[in-house]
Copies of this chain bind each other. A is one copy, B any other.
C-alpha cells in the first residue's frame, strides 16, 4: 500500500513552491499523490493557475471553492472558515495518510486546522521563517499544528526548535521553489510577453525590463491605496525613460482590491508607456523572468528567496518581509516614492549579484518525498521543553 500524500495548492505562489514535491511524490514508488486545487488557484482573476497545473500533467482529485469574494479582513476570515468546512469533506473522501501544506496563507491555515482536528499527520514547508503581515502569526501557528516540518533555511530550522518543535520532526530540506529555479533553462523565450495576456503596452523580450509585484499588507489594511501610489510614482518615470516594466497584479489577501484600484486609477490618469500588467506566469516562466530582470521591486518574497539564488537585484518595500533572512541582493526601503526611486537607481547601476544558497540548493522536492515515504508520525504533539524536565 502506497502512502497517500494529499497536497493542497491554493495560489500561484503555492504552486511554484510545491511543484517539485508534487512531482517527486507522484514519481515515488511508495507514495501516491492526491492533489487538491482550491481558492484563488481556480479563479480567472488570479490567473487560473489550475490550467497551468493541468498542462503540467497533474490531475486534481477535486477542486475546492472557498474564496468568499470581497478581499476585506472579514472575507479573509470567512474564506478561512469556508475552506475548513470544504477541506474536511475532501479529507473524509480521500482519507490521506499525510496532508502537506505550504507556507502561511489563510488557506494554508485552513488546511492545517482541518487536518489537525481530523488526526491526519500534517506536513508543513517554510515554517520558521520570519516576515511581517498576518502571515507572520499564521506561519508559526501552523507550525504549532504541524507534525513534520520541512524548513528552507538553517535559521528557520533553528527557530522551529526554539518554539518547541521536537528535533526529530524538523528536517532542513531547502525550499522546493529553488529546485524549480535550479532545474529550469533560464533563457528568456522571445515570445514570453506575447503568449501571456494582460493589459498595457506590448513588451519586447530582447530589451531590458524590471518586475514589480506588490501585495497588500493585511496588518496595514486601509493603507494599500497610498502604498501602491508610492511605488507607481517611483517606477513610472523609469518606464517613461524607456525601462520596460512587467507588473503583476496582487494576490487575494485583504486589501487586494485597493491595490488593484490604485493601479487602475493610475492607468486612467496617466499614459503608461513600457508598462504591461499581467495576472500570472507559470512557475518556470516566472523563474526565467526573475533570472533576466534588471531588478525586482515590491514586497514579494520571491525577490528574497528565488532572487537570492538567482542574484537578482531587489528593492524590498515596506514591512511585509520584515525580519526575513536575506542575501546581498536586497535593498530595503520604506513605502516612499523617493526611497524606492533611489534604491531602484542603485540596483540598476549595480547589476546582478552572486548566487546565494541561503534558501536551498535545488534538491528539496526529492528530499521531502523521501522523508514522507519513511518517517513515522506522532499525532499527539508535545512541547519539546517538557522532555528537558
Chain A residues packing against B (C-beta within 8 Å): 42-45, 62-63, 65-70, 72-78, 80-93, 106, 109-110, 113-114, 116-119, 130, 132-134, 136-138, 140-145, 159, 162-164, 197, 218-221, 254, 257, 260-261, 268, 319, 322-323, 379-383, 385-386
Instruction: Report chain B residues within 8 Å CB of A119.
Output: 73, 134, 218-219, 221
Most buried by B among A44, A91, A117: A117
Which among B90, B162, B383 is the interface contact of A130 at CB below 8 angstroms?
B383
Instruction: Report chain B residues within 8 Å CB of A219.
Output: 119, 379-380
Instruction: Report chain B residues within 8 Å CB of A220.
Output: 380
CA distance A74 to B84 in the complex (A): 10
Which among B89, B379, B381 is the interface contact of A89 at CB below 8 angstroms?
B89
Instruction: Report chain B residues within 8 Å CB of A138.
Output: 116, 145
Instruction: Report chain B residues within 8 Å CB of A164.
Output: 140, 159, 162-163
When A and B form their complex, which 4 residue pairs have the shortest distance between CB atoms, in order from nearest? A81-B84, A81-B85, A77-B88, A140-B144
CA distance A343 to B106 in the complex (A): 46
Knowing that A42-B70, A69-B69 touch, tell me 20 more A-B residue pairs with CB under 8 angstroms.
Answer: A62-B92, A67-B70, A68-B68, A68-B69, A74-B91, A80-B81, A81-B82, A116-B134, A116-B138, A117-B218, A136-B381, A140-B383, A141-B141, A144-B163, A159-B383, A162-B162, A163-B163, A163-B164, A319-B380, A323-B382
Given contacts A80-B113, A81-B110, A164-B163, contact A65 B68 (CB under 8 A): yes
Given contacts A73-B117, A117-B218, A162-B385, contact A80 B84 (CB under 8 A): yes
CA distance A88 to B68 in the complex (A): 12
Contact A137 B116 (CB under 8 A): yes
Closest to A158 in B: B385
Contact B77 A118 (CB under 8 A): yes
CA distance A136 to B381 in the complex (A): 7
A134 CB to nearest B CB, Å: 6
A60 CB to nearest B CB, Å: 12
CA distance A164 to B44 in the complex (A): 39
Closest to A44 in B: B257
A155 CB to nearest B CB, Å: 9
Instruction: Report chain B residues within 8 Å CB of A268.
Output: 197
Which among B83, B133, B142 is the interface contact of A141 at CB below 8 angstroms?
B142
Instruction: Report chain B residues within 8 Å CB of A42.
Output: 70
Contact A117 B85 (CB under 8 A): no
Most buried by B among A86, A132, A322: A86
Contact A117 B386 (CB under 8 A): no
A162 CB to nearest B CB, Å: 6
Contact B118 A73 (CB under 8 A): yes
Instruction: Report chain B residues within 8 Å CB of A141.
Output: 141-142, 144-145
Contact B78 A85 (CB under 8 A): yes
A236 CB to nearest B CB, Å: 20
CA distance A159 to B385 in the complex (A): 8
